[in-house]
Amino acid sequence: MAVKSKDPMPENPTPPTPAAQLAEAGREFYRRGWVMGTSGNFSALLARKPLRLCITASGNEKGDLEETNFLEIDENAEIFQGFGKPSAETMVHLSIYRHLPKARSILHTHSVWGTILSDVYFEQGYVEIEGYEMLKGLAGVETHEHIERVPIVENSQDYIALSHVIENVIRENQGLHGIYLRRHGLYTWGETVSEARRHVEIFEFLFEVIGRSHSLAR
C-alpha cells in the first residue's frame, strides 16, 4: 500500500504583516496583565520618507486585537487606511520615531509593578536598574553590570505638550531603552517589533523584581 506524501511546505512562506505582529504581541501582553482592557497602544514604522505608521485604533480590547484594529497614518496622524481613530497618544509615537532614527516599533504597556515604581521613584526622576542578568536582553547591553535608568515623566492629557517633554528627555539621555509616564505606563521601542516586544518583557520582569524586593525588605 502506497503511503501518501504530505503536502510540501512552501519554500518562502509569507511573513506576518506588522499589524499581525503587533496584534499578537497585544494579545500576549493582555494575557500577562500588562495591557488590561483597552489600555496600551502599539505601532510599527512602515516608511520614514514620507513617514507612515501602522498604529492601534483607539478603544479596542487588547486581548482581542486583530489586524483590522490597526490604522495606517502619516506624520500628521491623517488616516490612509483602516477604520476608527488613532490612539490618543499617537503624537508620542510620532515624536519618538522622529528623534530615534533606529526605532521601528514602539510598544506602550500599563503594568501594576511599573505603575507603582513610577510613583515611588518620581521625585528621583527615574527608575534605576543595575546588576541583573536580564539587562542583557536590552539592545546593546553586554553585561549585567550595566546601569539602566528609565526616566519618569509626569503624565498629561495634553499629548502635544507631552510629546515635546519626551523629545527633551530623549535628547538629554543617550542610549535610552524606555520612558515611563507617571502612574500611567511604559514606552519602549526597538529596531523590529520582536526587539521592542523583548524590551517590554525585560522591563516588566525587572520592574516586578524590584517591586517585590522592596516589599520583602520592609
- Each residue of 128-153: pLDDT tens digit? 999 999 999 999 999 999 999 999 99
First-last CA distance in the chain = 72
Beta carbons within 10 angstroms of residue 5's beta carbon: 6
Mean model confidence pLDDT for the chain:
92
Domain 18-217, second-level architecture: 3-Layer(aba) Sandwich (3.40)
Residue 99 reports pLDDT greater than 50: yes
Q: pTM for the complete prediction?
A: 0.91
Scan for cell 553585561, then name that residue.
143
Q: Tell me if the bond preceding 50 is cis, omega within 30° of 0.
A: yes
Estimate the crossing angle of helix 193-217 against helix 18-31, to 10 degrees: 20
Helix, strand, or coil here: 104? Answer: coil
Of residues 218 and 133, the one with the higher pLDDT is 133
Q: pLDDT tier at 8 (50, 70, 90 boundaries)?
A: low
> Is-contact 202 140, C-beta < 8 A?
no
Residue 11 reports pLDDT greater than 50: yes
pLDDT of residue 215: 75
Sorted by where each begins, the domain ranges of the chain are 18-217
pLDDT tens-place string over residues 21-73: 999 999 999 999 999 988 999 999 999 999 999 999 988 889 999 999 999 99
> Are β-strands 185-190 and 178-181 bridged in parallel, bridged antiparallel, or unpaired?
antiparallel
Scan for cell 505608521, then name that residue.
53
Helix, strand, or coil here: 46? Answer: strand
pLDDT of residue 1: 47
Cα separation, 52 vs 19, in Å, equals 13
pLDDT tens-place string over residues 192-214: 999 999 999 999 999 999 999 97
Determine the average pLDDT of the residues in 152-180: 95
Q: Can you say whether the dihedral through the CA atoms of 80, 83, 88, 92 is positive or negative?
A: negative
